[in-house]
Amino acid sequence: MFEMKNENDETATKHKNQDFFRKLDEDRKKNCEYAVLVSMLEPENDLYNNGIVPVLQNDKGERFEKMYVIRPQFFVPLITLLCQICRKTIDTRRELALMRSQQVDVTHFEEKLTAFKESFGRNVRLANDKFNTAIDEIDNTIKRLTKVREALVASGDYLDKADKKLEYVTVKRLTYGNPTMKAMFEEASKQ
């Protein structure tokens, strides 16, 4: 914010630069970072005649930040100085924004890593559960197949015993102790 002040030599009441500091500071606080009073007031004051003067406080003890008083011949040098400061500020803000985005990237990376770990851990747990279920099923199948094998072996033993018993089956043995059957077989063998 720039404000220009000048007085005619014929003016009865002479203003001082500090008469405008408070209002200039209030105006600066609305939307500006710096406030500059370009003044031809107090032409005999050597402080204001020597260059760019920072305003720290007025006679009432009020403090002012980023406020300067200059003569018109220092207007262009001050503009150049402010441009350089603004460029540095912009560069600093860009670096800060970059650092913040990198920090956000790190935060997002950590969130993604945590999500990946949780998802991976869940998959490992599910795979482990399926693995254990498969092992249990294999054990149960082995037990069932062992029982089937034992039944088949027992069935084979019974068939062997039946086959051996069949070898000993004769008409004579079948009719032993049964006179009716014995008589029928004898008559059938005569015919």
Q: Which of 22-26, 124-128, 177-181 has the least mean pLDDT?
A: 177-181
Determine the Cα–Cα distance for residues 146 and 151; give it in Å rounded to an integer. Answer: 9
Give the pLDDT confidence of 112-165 residue by residue, as tens digits: 888 989 999 999 999 999 999 999 999 999 999 999 999 999 999 999 998 888
Task: Show the 3-state SS of 59-117.
Answer: CCCCECCCEEEECHHHHHHHHHHHHHHHHHHHHHHHHHHHHHHHHHHHHHHHHHHHHHH
CB atoms within 10 A of CB 185: 15
Give the pLDDT confidence of 46-59 residue by residue, as tens digits: 888 888 888 887 76
What is the pTM (predicted TM-score) of this model? 0.47
Q: Which two tokens stand for residue 78?
A: 């001050």
Determine the Cα–Cα distance for residues 186 and 169; give it in Å rounded to an integer. Answer: 17
Torsion angle of alpha carbons 74, 78, 80, 86, nearest 10°?
-170
Determine the Cα–Cα distance for residues 5 and 45; give it in Å rounded to an integer. Answer: 15
Distance of CA 105 to the CA centre of its chain: 9
Determine the Cα–Cα distance for residues 69 and 166; give it in Å rounded to an integer. Answer: 133
Name the DSSP letter for residue 14. P
What is the pLDDT at residue 10?
65
Indicate if the pLDDT at residue 9 is higher than 70.
no
Q: Percent of the chain, pLDDT > 90?
A: 31
